Amino acid sequence: MLAVVITVAVTAWLLIHGLPSPATSAAPLSSPSLSPAANGPTSIQVSTAISEAVRTALTAGAAVGAAFTLALAFRRQRHQELTLVLTALQA
């Protein structure tokens, strides 16, 4: 469980850390030479990017959790099969 939390935290931090901050001053709409993208991303674009980064981090955490679940199921099945063989040999 700790590995899942660490995976989510590190992935989210790496993705969010690289995002630029939103533009503080918007370009005037009457100026045709300046587009809104020239001043940097808007706050809506940044919030969308943050939500996508969190979504990606949670997906990575789910993948790690699924891998641990699969490993535990494999170990449990192997243990049950070995117990069955040893029980048959002792009988």
pLDDT in tens, 19-56: 877 776 555 555 555 455 557 788 888 889 999 999 99
Identify whether 17 is part of a domain: yes
In-domain check, residue 47: yes
Residue 74's pLDDT is 97
- The structural domain count of the chain equals 1
Which CA distances in Å does 89 have to 17, 70, 81, 83, 84? 59, 29, 13, 10, 9
d(CA 60, CA 14): 12
Considering only residues 8 and 39, tell me which one the structure prediction assigns the higher pLDDT: 8
Domain that holds residue 67: 2-22+40-90
Averaged pLDDT score across all residues of the chain: 84
